[in-house]
Amino acid sequence: MKKIKLIFQLLLTCLILMSLIFVLQAEAADYYTEVILQEFDGSDNPAYIANQGRVYDANEVFEEGIYEDWEAGQNLTEEIADNEELAEAVADLESVGFYIDKVFTEEELAKFDGEERPEAYVAVENIVYDVSDVFSGGEHRGYQAGSDLSEEFDQESPHEEEMLADYKVIGLLVDKTLSPAELAEYDGEGDNDAYAAVDGLIYDMSELWPEGEHYDYFAGENLTTEITNSPHGAEVMLDVGLTAALTEMLPESTDAPVDEERGLLYIFIGIGVLAVVGSIALGTHSFIFTLRGIDN
Ligand code: HEM
Ligand code: HEM
């Protein structure tokens, strides 16, 4: 009887442990940038690919990292959109994280409100989704696009988190962006925190590098090239907490209307300057000719 009880207790403990591992795994949100994804090319690490902002375990399809003409370890969004055979081969893969090549601050996200711009984006748990088709005119059930709806989604909506898998991932919502000069202040010296940038994202290394130093490399710097050449590779960054992003990761499109306006302004100024110079030149020319005419 005692034995049965013991076996039962063991089984129960295993079950609790397994569900705990499952919950922890489900909550881990891994952010892969281009440089991190490159490490998952099927040689040292399993073969992963990115499609529409998500990273998938493609090990079964990409044997030794290769499937037909395509190689794992990269973002294949365009290739998948252009090729039915590839699209079919990768249709049922399991998602293991997000592919991040763009970030938004709340201020930037607010610009994609589906009104001023046709794109309607919302953030849930730091991930920015394209919800243009549901938030028509920028609104869905009284909620506005261009904002962080994490709480509303979790507490007020009838939706399960899984439904977000149907929406294209655009980027990552971050609290702040830093220029390289601003990053340099986070060098781990004195009371300063230690930050390091890898492929546009900024990680908090304060606990790992209390002195702000790691094998002759220093916090406060962009270490993308250095980590790619290090013995461990960029995948170690998957286990480090993100704290910010380099300003260059903000969407370029945000400034497009301003740039277009500026472009037009430059064209008008150019035409104006040409007109003035032209008329002066012509004026002088005809003036000289008139003078010559008088002379003659
Ligand atoms: C964050 C992104 C969200 C997406 C992608 C999304 C998507 C959708 C879709 C596709 C539908 C079904 C079509 C429709 O009725 O329009 C729907 C219904 C609905 N959504 Fe959302 N939604 C989001 C956020 C929210 C939030 C924050 C709320 C907050 C209350 C909400 C409340 C509802 C309600 C009440 C319905 C109707 C459900 C029903 O009729 O059974 N949604 N949503
Ligand atoms: C030649 C240069 C480097 C050497 C020899 C080196 C060596 C190591 C070693 C031995 C470890 C612990 C074991 C492991 O995880 O593999 C480690 C961990 C780590 N390294 Fe490097 N590393 C170098 C460059 C870099 C660079 C440039 C970064 C940029 C951010 C970096 C970030 C990390 C991180 C995040 C960890 C995991 C956390 C930790 O164990 O401290 N490493 N490195």
Lowest mean pLDDT among 42-51, 154-163, 256-265: 256-265
CA separation for the pair 20, 59 (Å, rounded): 26
Residues 23, 92 within the same domain: yes
CA separation for the pair 199, 100 (Å, rounded): 10
155 lies in a domain?
Answer: yes
Lowest mean pLDDT among 22-31, 33-42, 167-176: 22-31
170 lines ligand 2 (CB under 6 A): no
What pLDDT, on the 0 to 100 scale, is given for residue 116? Answer: 83
Q: What is the dihedral of CA 180, 182, 183, 186, to 10 degrees?
A: 160
Choose which residue among 208, 216, 236, 238 to substitute to test ligand 2 binding: the one with the highest number of ligand atoms within 8 A of its C-beta: 236
Residues 85, 109 within the same domain: no
User: How far, in Å, from the CA of 141 to the mean position of ligand 1?
Assistant: 7
Residue 280 has pLDDT above 90, yes or no: no
Residue 29 has pLDDT above 70, yes or no: no
From 173, 196, 220, the end of a domain falls on 173
Average pLDDT of span 106-132: 96
What is the number of domains present in the chain? 3
265 lies in a domain?
Answer: no
Residues 85, 110 within the same domain: no
Average pLDDT of span 182-206: 97
**Is the distance from CB of 250 to CB of 178 less than 8 angstroms?**
no
142 lines ligand 1 (CB under 6 A): no
User: How far, in Å, from the CA of 143 to the mean position of ligand 2?
Assistant: 44
219 lies in a domain?
Answer: yes
Find residue 242's DSSP bridge partners: 203
Which phi and psi angles does 287 have, rounded to 5°?
Answer: -65, -45
What pLDDT, on the 0 to 100 scale, is given for residue 5? Answer: 75
CA separation for the pair 89, 69 (Å, rounded): 13
- CATH code of the domain in which 123 resides: 3.10.120.10
Choose which residue among 156, 159, 169, 170 to substitute to test ligand 1 binding: the one with the highest number of ligand atoms within 8 A of its C-beta: 159
pLDDT digits (tens, 9 = 90+) for 37-54: 999 999 999 999 999 999
| Biggest CA-to-CA distance, the chain | 132
Residues 181, 167 within the same domain: no
285 lies in a domain?
Answer: no
227 lines ligand 2 (CB under 6 A): yes
Residues 49, 128 within the same domain: no
198 lies in a domain?
Answer: yes
CA separation for the pair 196, 230 (Å, rounded): 15
Residue 25 has pLDDT above 80, yes or no: no
pLDDT digits (tens, 9 = 90+) for 200-234: 999 999 999 999 999 999 999 999 999 999 999 99
Which phi and psi angles does 188 have, rounded to 5°?
Answer: 80, 0
CA distances from 260 to 156, 264, 267 (A): 40, 6, 11
Residue 181 has pLDDT above 50, yes or no: yes
Among candidates 90, 138, 147, which has minimal Cα distance to 114? 138
Residues 164, 194 within the same domain: no
CA 235 to chain centre: 16
Average pLDDT of span 233-250: 96
Among candidates 120, 86, 101, which has minimal Cα distance to 52? 101
236 lines ligand 2 (CB under 6 A): yes
112 lies in a domain?
Answer: yes
Q: State which residues form the domain around 204.
A: 177-252
Q: Are strands 242-246 and 177-178 parallel, antiparallel or unpaired?
A: parallel
Residues 88, 117 within the same domain: no
Closest listed ligand to the CA of 236:
2
